[in-house]
Amino acid sequence: MKIFLDTADINEIRVAARWGVLDGVTTNPTLYAKVGGAPYDDVLREICGITSGPVSAEVIADDLEGMLREGRHFATLAPNIVVKVPMSETGLEAISRLADEGIRTNCTLVFSANQGLLAAKAGASLISPFVGRLDDINQDGMIVIRELAEMFAIHDIEAQVLAASIRHPQHVTQAALAGAHIATIPFKVLQQMVHHPLTDRGIAQFKADWEKVQGELAARRGS
Ligand code: E4P
């Protein structure tokens, strides 16, 4: 399973890239609003300079012409831009039109397998079911991931299932086991995945034991 970072924070993206675990990035208006400070285009260009993997840029317009205009514009920013289009009747049409023009799209705000199926048929290359937001309303978000992954495998559909709205490390494990092709992960969750109390304690213990022996050797040399 590929790992994308779900952020518009350049520093977080640089760190994940240095760790060698970054396959792409997803942004949305909320994530962009959290960092602010620079025009969205500049942020996107900078992200695309850090990773050659897909970088999702979300349209704001809710009318067809606006979605197409914004999508075409994002596609000029870098070759690895993927235009994020919300699931809707207009969104499907925009996805289809952009696909005809060779522009890759990520259908966002997907909450059911049928929505994902339609987005894939319209030509989206990435389908983003929101796991955490489904869990929030007492529905098992992972079911949509599993259903879509199975559906795409059975019918040989090219679109990839991108598990979004990931809230904790268990979501990542569950998404991988449910067949998600990609999980987009907040930086905090990525850090949580690195750490384990026994790993951290083990590192401290090895260091302490090593230093204890070095101290004893130094004392012996001095006596
Ligand atoms: C990513 O593509 C989505 O926009 C994001 O994962 C949504 O996450 P949230 O539900 O935590 O806002």
pTM of the predicted model, to two decimals? 0.95
Mean pLDDT score, 198-204: 97
pLDDT tens per residue across span 40-80: 999 999 999 999 999 999 999 999 999 999 999 999 999 99
Q: Ligand 1: which of 2, 47, 165 to mutate, judged by most atoms within 8 Å of the beta carbon?
A: 165
Pocket test for ligand 1, best of 44, 171, 184 (most atoms within 8 A of CB): 184
* Ligand 1 pocket, residues with Cβ under 6 angstroms: 6, 26, 28, 30, 108, 128, 130, 132-133, 164-165, 184
Over residues 134-186, the pLDDT tens digits come to 999 999 999 999 999 999 999 999 999 999 999 999 999 999 999 999 999 99
| C-alpha 203: how far from chain center | 30
Q: State the DSSP string of 7-52.
A: ---HHHHHHHHHHT---EEE--HHHHHHH-SS-HHHHHHHHHHH-S
Q: How many CA atoms lie within 13 Å of 200's alpha carbon, on the beta-carbon side?
A: 7
Residue nearest to atom 10 of ligand 1 (CA): 165
Nearest Cα neighbor of 35 from 1, 73, 5 is 5
> What is the pLDDT confidence band of residue 208, given thresholds at 50, 70 and 90?
very high
C-alpha 102 to ligand 1 mean position (Å): 25
User: What residues contact residue 171 under an 8 Å CB cut-off, 6+ apart?
Assistant: 131, 132, 142, 163, 183, 189
Residues paired with residue 82 on neighbouring β-strands, in sequence order = 56
Residue 175, number of CB atoms within 10 A of its CB: 28
Query: Distance, CA 8 to ligand 1 centroid (Å)?
Result: 12
The answer, yes or no, to whether residue 187 has pLDDT greater than 90, is yes
- Alpha-carbon distance of 106 to 162, in angstroms, equals 9
Q: Please count the CA atoms within 13 angstroms of the CA of 37 that sit on its side-chain side.
A: 8
Per-residue tokens: 179? 């067949």
R_g over Cα of the chain: 21
Domain architecture of the chain: domains with CATH? 2-195 (3.20.20.70)
Question: How do 126-129 and 105-110 pair as beta strands?
Answer: parallel
> Which tokens go with 140?
């098992």
**Distant-in-sequence, close-in-space partners of 188: CB < 8 Å, separation ≥ 6:** none
Determine the residue type at 40: Y
Are the C-beta atoms of 178 and 1 separated by less than 8 Å? no
Distance CA 1, CA 181 (A): 5
